[in-house]
Amino acid sequence: MDLKFYLPVLIVVLSNTFYHICSKSTPENINIFASLSVTYAVGMVASLVIFFLTRQDTSLLAEYRHLTWTSFVLGLSVVGLEAGFILMYKAGWNVSTGQLVQSALLAIVLLVVGFLLYRESISLRQVIGVFVCMGGLYLMSN
């Protein structure tokens, strides 16, 4: 088993599990953006600690010179993602179905994005998968 290949997936699954538990458990009476400000403060501290533990002959400022627009747009995307999930759960979505619905829709959108932006090919199997996703969404909505 190649740990470098599977460990990232394990980290994503484990982190995503806690992510949804925390999103669903965010208190009803708190402004979600106040809550997210603490979330990002913790994330910033964790990122800085991990940077200093793993850096190799470079400084933080030297690394910041490599920043592009992607870091800033990713930051805005993460705020939208997290606020969207918290709002979704506050609106009454179940953890078991909300995640599946958004994942199926996201898979369809990313198939198109991959094709249009990255020239990824779309196979017949993927097209069939889109219809399976749409069928699953239909079954979950009834």
In the DSSP assignment, the letter for residue 86 is H
Q: For the ranges 87-91, 97-101, 117-121, which has the lowest average pLDDT?
A: 97-101
- What's the mean per-residue pLDDT of the chain? 92
Name which residue leads in pLDDT, 98 or 72: 72
Within 8 A by CB and 6+ apart from 137, the residues are 101, 104, 105
Mean pLDDT of 13-23: 93
Whether 54 shows a pLDDT value over 80: the answer reads yes
* Nearest alpha-carbon partner for 62 in 72, 73, 51, 70: 51
